[in-house]
């Protein structure tokens, strides 16, 4: 299909062989490369997405471990504040005073403040500064921050505080994100994440409320240290952003939450006109989640860069290869272009031009063969011109010589008539035979004549041979009626009859038989004698002689025609080619038989006959 399409394109644009080779080579080179690139891109698309999702999951895993570590620290602090013996003693002491309705003495209060300050300082983490508050029902409170910044009893007026009142003492309440309540820390941490827990006795009575707050920046800083274009948010169960490296997005809902996939899975979505890879990861505490979006191109950036580099390398290699291909193709096809130009000049009639292409390859051999063909054509043209000149000369000589034959015919007829008038009919008949034979010998206007005329000529020839050699050779002619109009070459029988006279019968009495009949499309002519014949050796020698090329001729000594048996066979082969064949049979003492197989054509069926008749 591709080959047919290329052929149609090249025919439509009439492209040269060089351009056809270039187009085919370029297509065979570019198509597989493009197919490989597209196939690689298609096959690696899912792999790249999986790899990108794995990378995002790994980065979220790092964030998860960091965030979980912070959450664990906050839970650890609440547990410590709830279950430490010294802190519990201070809490119970304040509770008992509250229940008794009598305030604690100043010395005890000062001692408790110092002791609590040491405890709170002891459990503070140096890298993650947390704000700790313990508020009691009697209004007493302990903090690790200046109370001039914020009165911890104000927590009771927050909207979330009523939700805390109904919880057990072992249930931590994650308040989530809210504005930092400490002015000195608000510049660095505009928002804090807070956890609260209530300490109750075995009767469920409230002993104290623990509030621990952590600056949001401690969480979002790990987001900033991750992939530059990866957007990570810490959200609560309602989809509100708890932590983000962009402060203005904190406390607002995530706009693309409905596009998020299930836990631990990834999805592709268009966010703000850019295709992004979405991923979500649930934390172990507080029903919080980490959600991440990263531009797909950035997620697969390294692999894409490798593919882009690979594409550039392939394009550069392809361009270099095409340049080399075009250069080599131009050099390789230059001899063909030259040969085509020479052929065009030859077509216009300039036969003297030559390609002069050398080389041992096919083009070199073709160029040499083309030049040799032109050389042979030139030689043939010279030969044809010479033959035409000789032919015209021979025709002129023949016209000039026609006067003598006509004169001889008239003289012979006058002699024959005088002899007949004197009553010598036998000699008159001989002269008549001589005139007929002479006329047939000289008149070569028709190369092919009917078989009956050839038989009459042979009859006159035998009469003259009997008279010349003073012998009585009988001629037995048996021709089928349908064979009589079949055309045969003039004088093809005479050398065979002469051969029978001289070599078969050897001037002795005998009989020569001529038979002819049709067999399909073949005329079979048999000439046999009852002479001495030949042994097997001489017969084989004669057969081999007749099978030799026509250049190796032999003469029989016939004076009238100057051609022998070999010449007759060669002549028949030239006229009829492979359609002609001759068979020779002979035995010592039993004579010799020639059987000729000739294509049967009647007058008017052969182009040669038509031309001969027209010339006559």
What does the alpha-carbon distance between residue 58 and residue 72 come to, in Å, rounded to a whole number? 21
For 69-83, 105-119, 461-475, which range has the lowest pLDDT when averaged over its residues?
Answer: 461-475
Pairing of strands 510-519, 173-179: unpaired
pLDDT in tens, 504-563: 777 678 889 999 999 999 999 999 998 888 888 888 888 888 887 665 544 443 333 334
Cα separation, 217 vs 233, in Å, equals 12
Give the pLDDT band of residue 613 (cuts 50, 70, 90): very low
d(CA 217, CA 188): 8
Neighbours of 281 (CB within 10 A): 19
Cβ distance 195 to 75 under 8 Å?
A: yes
What is the 3-state secondary structure of 546-573? Answer: HHCCCCCCCCCCCCCCCCCHHHHHHHHH
Taking the C-alpha atoms of residue 239 and residue 33, their distance in angstroms, rounded to an integer, is: 48
- Kindly give, in sequence order, each residue whose CB lies less than 8 Å from that of residue 329, ignoring residues fewer than 6 positions away: 18, 21, 22, 25
- Cα 110–Cα 112–Cα 116 angle in degrees, nearest 5: 120
Task: Check: pTM over 0.75? Answer yes or no.
Answer: no
The residues near 363 (Cβ < 8 Å, ≥ 6 apart) are: 335, 336, 339, 357
* Percentage, residues of the chain above pLDDT 70: 82
Say which range, 17-21, 268-272, 441-445, 602-606, has the weakest mean pLDDT.
602-606
At residue 78, φ and ψ (nearest 5 deg) are -65, -40
Phi, psi (5° rounding) for residue 506?
50, 55
Distance CA 564, CA 552 (A): 12
Q: Which residues pair with 1 in a beta bridge?
A: none
Beta bridge mates, 192: 178, 215
Which residues touch 359 (CB under 8 Å, ≥6 apart)?
335, 365, 367
Where residue 329 falls among pLDDT bands split at 50, 70, 90?
confident
| Average pLDDT score over the chain | 79
The residues, any chain, with a CB within 8 Å of residue 600's CB and separated by 6 or more, are 483, 486, 518, 521, 522, 523
**What residue ranges define each of the domains in the chain, with the CATH number in brackets?**
1-299 (3.30.450.20), 444-615 (3.30.565.10)
Tell me the backbone φ, ψ of residue 201, rounded to 5 degrees: -85, -175
- pLDDT given at position 563: 45
Is the pLDDT assigned to residue 469 strictly greater than 80? no
Distance CA 427, CA 196 (A): 164
Q: Give the pLDDT band (50/70/90) at residue 397.
A: low
- What HEC string does 314-352 produce? HHHHHHHHHHHHHHHHHHHHHHHHHHHHHHHHHHCCCCC
């Amino acid at each position: 299909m591709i080959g047919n399409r290329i052929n149609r394109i090249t025919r439509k644009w009439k492209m040269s062989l060089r351009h056809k080779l270039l187009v085919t080579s370029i297509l065979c080179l570019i198509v597989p490369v493009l197919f490989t690139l597209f196939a690689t891109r298609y096959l690696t698309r899912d792999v790249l997405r999986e790899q990108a999702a794995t990378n995002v999951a790994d980065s979220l895993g790092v964030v998860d471990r960091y965030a979980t570590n912070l959450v664990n620290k906050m839970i650890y602090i609440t547990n410590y504040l709830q279950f430490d013996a010294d802190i519990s003693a201070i809490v119970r002491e304040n509770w008992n005073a509250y229940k008794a309705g009598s305030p604690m003495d100043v010395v005890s209060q000062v001692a408790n403040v110092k002791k609590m300050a040491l405890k709170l300082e002891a459990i503070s983490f140096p890298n993650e500064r947390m704000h700790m508050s313990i508020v009691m029902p009697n209004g007493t409170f302990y903090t690790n921050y200046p109370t001039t910044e914020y009165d911890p009893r104000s927590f009771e007026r927050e909207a979330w505080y009523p939700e805390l009142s109904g919880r057990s003492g072992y249930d931590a309440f994650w308040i989530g994100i809210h504005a930092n309540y400490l002015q000195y820390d608000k510049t660095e941490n505009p928002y804090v994440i807070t956890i609260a827990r209530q300490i109750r006795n075995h009767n469920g009575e409230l002993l104290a409320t623990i509030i621990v707050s952590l600056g949001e920046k401690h969480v979002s800083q790990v987001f900033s240290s991750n992939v530059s274009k990866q957007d990570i948010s810490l959200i609560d169960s309602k989809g509100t952003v708890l932590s983000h490296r962009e402060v203005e997005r904190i406390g607002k809902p995530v706009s693309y939450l409905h596009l998020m996939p299930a836990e631990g899975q990834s999805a592709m979505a268009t966010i703000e006109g850019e295709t992004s890879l979405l991923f979500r990861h649930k934390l172990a505490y507080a029903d919080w989640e980490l959600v991440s979006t990263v531009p797909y191109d950035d997620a697969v950036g390294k692999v894409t860069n490798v593919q882009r580099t690979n594409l550039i390398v392939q394009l550069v290699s392809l361009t270099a290869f095409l340049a080399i291909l075009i250069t080599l193709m131009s050099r390789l096809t230059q001899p063909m272009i030259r040969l085509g130009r020479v052929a065009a000049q030859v077509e216009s009639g300039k036969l003297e031009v030559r390609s002069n292409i050398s080389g041992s390859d096919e083009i070199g051999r073709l160029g040499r063969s083309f030049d040799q063909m032109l050389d042979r054509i030139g030689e043939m043209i010279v030969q044809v011109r010479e033959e035409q000149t000789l032919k015209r000369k021979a025709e002129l000589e023949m016209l000039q010589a026609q006067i003598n034959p006509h004169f001889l015919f008239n003289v012979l007829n006058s002699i024959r008539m005088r002899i007949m008038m004197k009553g010598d009919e036998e000699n008159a008949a001989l002269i008549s035979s001589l005139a007929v034979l002479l006329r047939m010998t000289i008149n070569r206007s028709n190369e092919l004549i009917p078989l009956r005329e050839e038989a009459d000529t042979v009859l006159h020839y035998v009469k003259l041979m009997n008279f010349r050699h003073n012998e009585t050779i009988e001629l037995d002619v048996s021709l089928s009626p349908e064979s009589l109009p079949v055309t045969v070459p003039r004088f093809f029988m005479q050398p065979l009859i002469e051969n029978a006279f001289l070599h078969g019968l050897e001037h002795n009495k005998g009989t020569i038989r001529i038979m002819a009949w049709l067999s399909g499309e073949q005329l079979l002519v048999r000439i046999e004698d009852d002479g001495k014949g030949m042994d097997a050796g001489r017969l084989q020698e004669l057969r081999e002689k007749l099978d030799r090329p026509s250049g190796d001729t032999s003469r029989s000594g016939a004076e009238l025609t100057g051609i022998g048996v070999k010449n007759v066979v060669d002549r028949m082969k030239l006229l009829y080619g492979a359609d002609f064949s001759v068979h020779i049979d002979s035995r010592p003492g039993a004579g010799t038989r020639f059987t000729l197989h000739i294509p049967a054509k009647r007058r008017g069926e052969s182009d040669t006959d038509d031309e001969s008749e027209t010339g006559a």
